[in-house]
Homo-oligomer: A and B are copies of this chain.
Amino acid sequence: MGVVAGDGDLPLILANKARADGAEVYIAALKGFANQDWHGFETQTFAVEDMAAMCVWFHDVGADAVTFAGSVKRPDFDYFQPDNLAVSAQDALHGAAQQGDDALLRAVISIFEQAGFSVIGLDDIAPDYLVKTGLWGRKSAYGGTEADCLRASEIARTIGAMDIGQGAVVAKGVVLAVEAQEGTAAMLSRCAALPAALRGTQKNRCGVFAKWAKPEQDRRIDLPVIGMATIKAVAEAGLSGLVLEAGGVILLNPEAIYETAERLGLFILGVQAEA
């Protein structure tokens, strides 16, 4: 199995899991993003745009399936020079880049599929890391937040459908923040900076952070990821908990995340999206 590895802990977690399950794992580490210690894995480093070279290498080592893990900042398409990709694929990439992140990722997947690889996602490799339906963490913190959970989920799904982003914060019926390109950490820290009348505090928690997969995105790539830093940022913003799409959001370290949430006084609610 080939792993195209970006930033963060997910690529290594996933590579270890796949190897433990008996797969041969080959790592295409993206220059400037993959910052894991790949000791013990067969690894080559590639620039983000060297997709043709990645495909050649994966073919050479005999990988037939490819997965994408870890975050990658959007490159500047004014200066984006893919390696010897077919002109049609280059055009498709540049065109898709103008239509938003989802279109861009679909174009990337399609380049690997056209090179003969099956592109697989986390639910094939490590389904245990996907959020499960149910209430976790400090369960008692959930009471009274039902309306905020519903509203925050609705907003996260709507902005996801519009390819804006995947996260939203609602407190006492008011939408405090919506996430676009600034990312989750910046969004949560600006919630903490809002007037106290709007938000909760660490002593008197109020409000809910929702994270849902984009309803129309290709689930094999770019599912949102919640790590320990997110849980801590939710706590620091004075919120009561998280509502996450069951099966649509990755928990980097499920047991530790549930324990930390409980310790910090936060609930984590996994909700199945309606079909």
Contacts and interface: CB of A to CB of B under 8 A. Distances in A.
A40 interface: no
Contacts of A39: none
B172 A176 contact: no
Interface residues of A, number: 40
Interface in A154-194: 154-155, 158-159, 162-165, 169, 172-182, 186, 190, 193-194
A197 B147 CA distance: 38
Q: How many copies does the complex hold?
A: 2
A162 B173 contact: no
Interface of A: 73-78, 97-101, 147, 154-155, 158-159, 162-165, 169, 172-182, 186, 190, 193-198
Contact residues of A: prevailing secondary structure: loop
Given A178-B180, A180-B177, A155 B162 contact: yes
B98 A147 contact: yes
Nearest to A196: B76
A100 B180 contact: no
